[in-house]
């Protein structure tokens, strides 16, 4: 069985008096694409933020590569390969595409950075065409590609993606999911948060359904995709 890269137990996260995540368990194994789905406000983004050190954990345990990481900062965790692509992309708008990609490799000290930029250009030819363009002048879809490319530059061991398809045109949504699949096939372990439950579960190996801060269902992604409760609540049937 594949190694467990990320293991979360009893995770609770609160914003002041509001409990956004109320005690959840999940794990991600090496090579897997795991999808976290659920309605608006279910606590998906909060879960990703807590795992990556961007939001304090009220209770519970998080293990990454077999070691507890609760309390470690986002910067340290990213250096160790636990990398999040936030909702809304978070590119450096006043830097060029190439500069953004170089920034993504800040945690590395090797001579393969230029070669990896070429690999990213292989996945996203659009970024190559626009290499010297300022990130802030790119379209939403292009910025999502750049955010994904930049994250790959860190050579992540686990990549956490928050709603990569959010706000994009149908063609761009297709492209982004295609790329998620490509990255997965290249062996990158991923935790994918998506509103687009049908697309996410079609690609994923396993899935977790969140509702009001709790995990209400979990299992093989294909089984969830065909589960009448999921179809009714999240696929609009």
Structure tokens of 65?
């590569």
Shortest Cβ distance from residue 163 to ligand ATP (Å)?
7
Closest CB to ligand ATP among 13 and 180? 13
Q: Where are the beta strands (DSSP E) in the chain?
A: 4-15, 18-29, 33-38, 59-64, 67-68, 82-85, 158-162, 189-194, 206-211, 214-220
Under 8 Å between Cβ of 93 and 104: no
Closest CB to ligand ATP among 44 and 175? 44
Closest CB to ligand ATP among 20 and 117? 20
CA distances from 136 to 11, 131, 154, 221 (A): 36, 13, 21, 36
Closest CB to ligand ATP among 44 and 89? 44
Shortest Cβ distance from residue 230 to ligand ATP (Å)?
16
Closest CB to ligand ATP among 5 and 48? 48
3-state secondary structure 82-128: EEEECCCCCCCCCCEHHHHHHHHCCCCCCCCHHHHHHHHHHHCHHHH
Shortest Cβ distance from residue 215 to ligand ATP (Å)?
12
Shortest Cβ distance from residue 216 to ligand ATP (Å)?
13
Shortest Cβ distance from residue 161 to ligand ATP (Å)?
12
| Site of interaction with ligand ATP (CB under 6 A) | 15, 18, 20, 38, 40-46, 195
């Amino acid at each position: 069985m594949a190694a467990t890269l990320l293991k979360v137990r009893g995770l609770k996260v609160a914003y002041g008096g509001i409990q956004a995540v109320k005690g959840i368990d999940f794990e991600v194994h090496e090579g897997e694409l795991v999808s976290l789905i659920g309605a608006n406000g279910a606590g998906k983004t909060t879960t990703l933020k807590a795992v990556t050190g961007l939001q304090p954990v009220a209770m519970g345990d998080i293990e990454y590569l077999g070691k507890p990481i609760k309390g470690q900062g986002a910067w340290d965790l990213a250096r160790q390969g636990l990398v999040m692509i936030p909702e809304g992309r978070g590119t450096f708008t006043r830097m060029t595409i190439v500069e953004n990609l170089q920034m993504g490799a800040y945690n590395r000290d090797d001579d393969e950075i230029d070669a990896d930029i070429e690999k990213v250009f292989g996945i996203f030819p659009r970024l190559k065409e626009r290499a010297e363009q300022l990130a802030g002048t790119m379209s939403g879809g292009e910025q999502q590609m750049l955010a994904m490319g930049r994250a790959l530059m860190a050579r992540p061991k686990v990549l956490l993606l928050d709603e990569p398809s959010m706000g994009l045109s149908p063609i761009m949504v297709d492209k982004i999911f295609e790329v998620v699949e490509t990255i997965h096939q290249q062996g990158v372990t991923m935790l994918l948060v998506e509103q687009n439950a049908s697309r996410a579960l079609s690609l994923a190996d396993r899935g977790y359904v969140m509702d009001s801060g709790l995990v209400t269902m979990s299992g093989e992604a294909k089984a969830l995709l065909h589960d009448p409760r999921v179809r009714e609540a999240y696929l609009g049937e």
